[in-house]
Structure 1
């Protein structure tokens, strides 16, 4: 399973999302979109052109067994779902 969180400095939802994963023992890859222009382009880009189409941080992308899912914003339901998937496979 891979887990990437695209964040920006000073973002409360970003910090809380990271904390929830870390508290569950998951260590996400964290990408600062303010210092990584390609990451910003990826998360805000047109989905028809390979982007994700989001306009708010954080953006969480996870892949498991060849299936990818993603969302933006602080989403406790999705976070719990990913944690459950990760802990079930251990």
Structure 2
């Protein structure tokens, strides 16, 4: 749902698929994240599907 939201709102992103890059799981755990998706930008980090916060990335 996060990918679709970002695409539909013309927000560019880079996907890191945990199935294809299992070492990314270690990074997530080191950062203290316990769920996905994790969307990071220069301004903020959003954990979980949060359309209200994702909209802020579009502005």
Q: Name the TM-score class by shorter chain.
A: 0.7 to 0.9
Rg (Cα) greater in structure: 1
Tell me if structure 2 keeps the 8 A contact 1:60–1:71: yes
Q: CA RMSD in A?
A: 1.3
Matched, 1:70 2:49: no
Partner of 1:43: 28
Partner of 1:53: 32
Q: Which has the higher strand share?
A: 1
| Paired positions, count | 59
Unaligned segments of structure 2, at least 5 residues: none
Unaligned segments of structure 1, at least 5 residues: 1-15, 46-51, 85-90
In the TM superposition, residue 34 of structure 1 has moved relative to its aligned partner by 2.2
